[in-house]
A and B are shown apart, each in its own frame.
Chain A
Amino acid sequence: MLKLSKLKEAVICLKAGKVTLPYPAAPEPVPSNFRGRPVFDPNLCIGCGGCANNCPAREILISDVCQEIRIIRYSGQRCSYCGRCADLCPEQAITMSGEFETATDNIQDLRQELEVFMGTCQRCGRCFKNENPLNDLILKGYRADDLETNRWVHTSRSFLGEGDFGDLKIELD
């Protein structure tokens, strides 16, 4: 009886066949609903900041370096790939890619950074998004003051400096 049970066991084992996946040699497809590393599309992003507001890990940070440029930083190190940013994004600028091969020796490699030109509210000075892309063309962010040093104009009046212009009234745009 003992030998018969061993034989049965052997049959079961042989039935299973080879189950080991050839992963490192051959690529392994991910399931369709798999959420991998989020990928940001800079052309679609309007800089609303919904992703930063709703990230559970506070992984997406938004900083307005000046009144015209908003920088969206995703550092990627404690991201749990929950996909809330992709769900919330009104423009579908964030997609959860199927990319899982993100092992690295430097954690800074996972960083993504977006730069978005924004309109400036004339009352409060904060960034806002224009209604259409044509309005973006008159934004100050699209103008570079000094192309060699790539210096940004941080405030509208910064280029006036300390000088005394007397009676001269300059109409600022």
Chain B
Amino acid sequence: MAMLNGLLSKAFKKSIWVYHANSGGCNGCDIEVLNVLTPYYDVERFGIKLVGSPRHADVMLCQGPASRPTAKALLRAYEAMPQPKLVFAIGSCACGGGIWYDTYNVIGAIDKIVPVNFYIPGCPPRPEAIVYGVAVALGVVDKKVAPVRFKQLEFPIARYHPQDLVEEDGMLVYSKMDHI
């Protein structure tokens, strides 16, 4: 992550131009991305500008799952972008395939087609979440999420092992019984 951040600060020193690719989403994330460009969440103050062609873009913002008809077009748009390039998966469809991840015409998440650098989950993500994702990508802030695993507390109670049974005076005695 630190290496990637260093690389990003070197490669993306100047304004980032973003290309907005929807590969079969419901337009919810599109509206949120365009909301980011409005005066309320004015990202042009950070130099982020929307461009119409992937050949001009540094960053591709992907919305929607990779569907069967659009996967090829998405890959072509990705290949048309000049190096260095970043791909953002915006919304739960792009991150994991969405609710219809297993239907016949949905291939799944964007990262099955193009390598994704940053994920912004949400259905749709808030405009603030998108701004935050861009800030994480630029190394301005650190990411907050981490995988969580809750384990139950274990009480060490000695188990009953038949090999601990010993014969004394014609009786079977459980030898570990004293220690329990």
Q: B-contacting residues of A (Cβ < 8 Å)?
A: 19-21, 23-24, 28, 30, 37, 40, 42, 56-58, 69, 75-82, 99-117, 137, 141-145, 147, 153, 159-160, 163, 165, 168, 170, 173
Question: A103 is contacted by which of B1, B109, B129, B150 (Cβ under 8 Å)?
Answer: B129
Q: List 8 A-B contacts (CB under 8 A).
A: A20-B40, A77-B121, A78-B93, A103-B120, A105-B118, A143-B159, A147-B156, A170-B162
Closest chain-A Cβ to B174's Cβ sits at a distance in Å of: 11
Nearest 10 Cβ contacts at the A-B interface? A78-B96, A77-B96, A103-B133, A80-B123, A42-B150, A111-B147, A113-B149, A112-B148, A143-B157, A100-B129
- Given A79-B92, A159-B159, do A104 and B119 touch, yes or no (CB 8 Å)? yes
Indicate if the CB atoms of A159 and B161 lie closer than 8 Å.
Answer: yes
B178 within 8 Å of A by Cβ?
no
B154 within 8 Å of A by Cβ?
yes
Closest to A138 in B: B157
Indicate if the CB atoms of B143 and A105 lie closer than 8 Å.
Answer: yes
- Given A103-B143, A105-B117, do A23 and B150 touch, yes or no (CB 8 Å)? no
In the docked arrangement, what's the CA distance between A111 and B150, Å? Answer: 11
Q: Which residues does chain B contribute within 8 Å of A113, judged by CB atoms? A: 147-150
B54 within 8 Å of A by Cβ?
no
Closest chain-B Cβ to A129's Cβ sits at a distance in Å of: 13
Of A79, A103, A104, A141, most B-chain CB atoms within 10 Å: A103
In the docked arrangement, what's the CA distance between A104 and B122, Å? Answer: 12
Interface string of B94-136 (1 = CB under 8 A from A): 0111110110000001010000011111110110110111011
B177 within 8 Å of A by Cβ?
no
How many chain B residues sit at the interface, stated as a range, is 35 or more
In the docked arrangement, what's the CA distance between A56 and B123, Å? Answer: 13
Q: A102-B145, A107-B111, A142-B155 are in contact. List 11 more A-B contacts (CB 8 A).
A: A19-B40, A20-B41, A40-B150, A77-B92, A77-B95, A78-B98, A81-B123, A104-B119, A113-B149, A142-B154, A143-B154
Question: A168 is contacted by which of B136, B148, B172 (Cβ under 8 Å)?
Answer: B172
* Interface SS of A by simple majority: loop
Indicate if the CB atoms of B150 and A115 lie closer than 8 Å.
Answer: yes
In the docked arrangement, what's the CA distance between A23 and B102, Å? Answer: 36
In the docked arrangement, what's the CA distance between A114 and B165, Å? Answer: 37
Question: B145 is contacted by which of A30, A109, A137 (Cβ under 8 Å)?
Answer: A109
Q: Which residues does chain A contribute within 8 Å of B118, judged by CB atoms? A: 103-105
In the docked arrangement, what's the CA distance between A56 and B93, Å? Answer: 13
B144 within 8 Å of A by Cβ?
yes
Indicate if the CB atoms of A20 and B45 lie closer than 8 Å.
Answer: yes
In the docked arrangement, what's the CA distance between A144 and B151, Å? Answer: 13
Indicate if the CB atoms of A24 and B92 lie closer than 8 Å.
Answer: no
Closest to B90 in A: A103
Indicate if the CB atoms of A100 and B126 lie closer than 8 Å.
Answer: yes
Q: Which residues does chain A contribute within 8 Å of B165, judged by CB atoms? A: 168
Question: A23 is contacted by which of B101, B120, B121, B128 (Cβ under 8 Å)?
Answer: B128
Question: B159 is contacted by which of A101, A102, A114, A153 (Cβ under 8 Å)?
Answer: A153
